[in-house]
Structure formats: structure tokens, C-alpha cells
A and B are shown apart, each in its own frame.
Chain A
């Protein structure tokens, strides 16, 4: 079976750095995705990791450790518009299905 865990909610201050963790236990692994979803809107793709290490994209970075079944999304120089839910999703290698975690609701305060 698939099990993906993320914190339900986090709060951070504008301008700060926040790290959102994701742990997973899945039947096979074929990559991990992070999505951002603002309230009432579609999830939008942020990052993809399939090899261990850090992938950086501007203010957002994503890290993966396959041996630990662990990933994090790092958001730097937080802005108010970063308030959203962040979804971790893992693709298995049996049919390439994408399984989502419950999402982490991030609130950025002034």
C-alpha cells in the first residue's frame, strides 16, 4: 500500500524560510512531486525529484532521500502569496500511479 505523511498545518512569517516535510512508504518509487494549491484553485506543479539530493528553483527547493523515504520542500524569502496548501505526491513503479499526501496548509503572516 501507499502511505504519505505531511504536517497538516504550518505557520511562518513573511521573509522567513520554511521547510515542509514529507515521508512516504510506497510499493516502489518512481519519483516525488510537490504541488501548490491556493484555496479554490487547481494544484500547480512545483518540483520533481527522482534522485537523491536537492533541486533548486528560485525561492523554492526540494530535497529527496530515497533510503529514508523522505522529502522536504524549502521556501525562502516567504511572501504572503505563498499562503497555500502544499501537496506531496509519489509515483509508484507499478502502473506509474501518483498518490498524494493530505497536504500541508501554510499560513504566512506579516
Chain B
């Protein structure tokens, strides 16, 4: 399997639930990212991990908690979410955070909070 794989593709959860999104990259990259994509809004950077160390936390509410156990895997743990958190959550990876390294995205998890 190649590229960036995200699971699940779709998730419906209540505001009191706890769930996790999973991302796996098979590209040998050492930087991984979580982005949020809402309707009619630009992609918003949430978290960046470089060599498994978090290097960016873009003022994201604490109800979102990332975890990067190794350079190939990235998780986003969700708890007590709000309906406005419903969006497409995209994982991406790149080789370093070098200036010319493009991001490679997964297909995303479509999250609906009820």
C-alpha cells in the first residue's frame, strides 16, 4: 500500500463520545500534519509533527488531542466535540518541512458531530 491512508472515512459521533482518527503514511516521510477543511473555508492547519515531535499547535481547542507514536503514524483523539467541529479532517505528510517539500494528503475523515 502506498501514500497516506486515513481511517475511518466517515464518522458520526455525539458530543459526549470519544473517538480517534488514524493516519498512516507509507512514503518514508518524517513530518506529519492534521488539517481541518470546513465548507467554504480554507484548509486550516491544526498540528504539525516533525520527527515525532510536535512543532506546531495552531490554537486548537483541547478537545482535539494529537498523538504521533512514530514517523509513520498519526492520531487525532476527539472528545466532547461541538457541532461546529463537523468537517473533513485531512492528514498529510512531507519529507522534512523543507521549503520545496509538497504535502501528500490522505482522503480525509468526514466527521459529523450530532
Contacts and interface: CB of A to CB of B under 8 A. Distances in A.
Interface of A: 4, 30-31, 33, 40-45, 48, 50, 87, 89, 91, 93, 95-103
A45 B99 contact: no
Given A43-B90, A95-B55, A48 B102 contact: yes
A85 B107 CA distance: 14
Nearest to A101: B42
A96 B102 contact: no
Contacts of B105: 42-44
Contacts of B97: 95-96
Nearest to A96: B97
B98 interface: yes
A99 B45 CA distance: 8
B53 interface: no
B4 A102 contact: no
Given A40-B107, A95-B97, 18 more contacts: A30-B99, A31-B100, A41-B107, A43-B43, A43-B90, A43-B103, A48-B102, A50-B99, A89-B43, A93-B99, A96-B98, A97-B48, A97-B56, A98-B103, A99-B45, A102-B40, A102-B41, A103-B42
A91 B43 contact: no
Interface residues on B, range: 20 to 34
B79 interface: no
B99 A91 contact: yes
Given A42-B90, A42-B105, A100 B100 contact: no
B104 interface: yes
Contacts of A50: 99-100
Interface string B89-109: 010000001111011111110
B42 A42 contact: no
Interface string B63-107: 000000000000000000000000000100000011110111111
Contacts of B4: 42
Contacts of A44: 105
Interface string B28-58: 0000000000001111010010000001100
Contacts of B48: 97
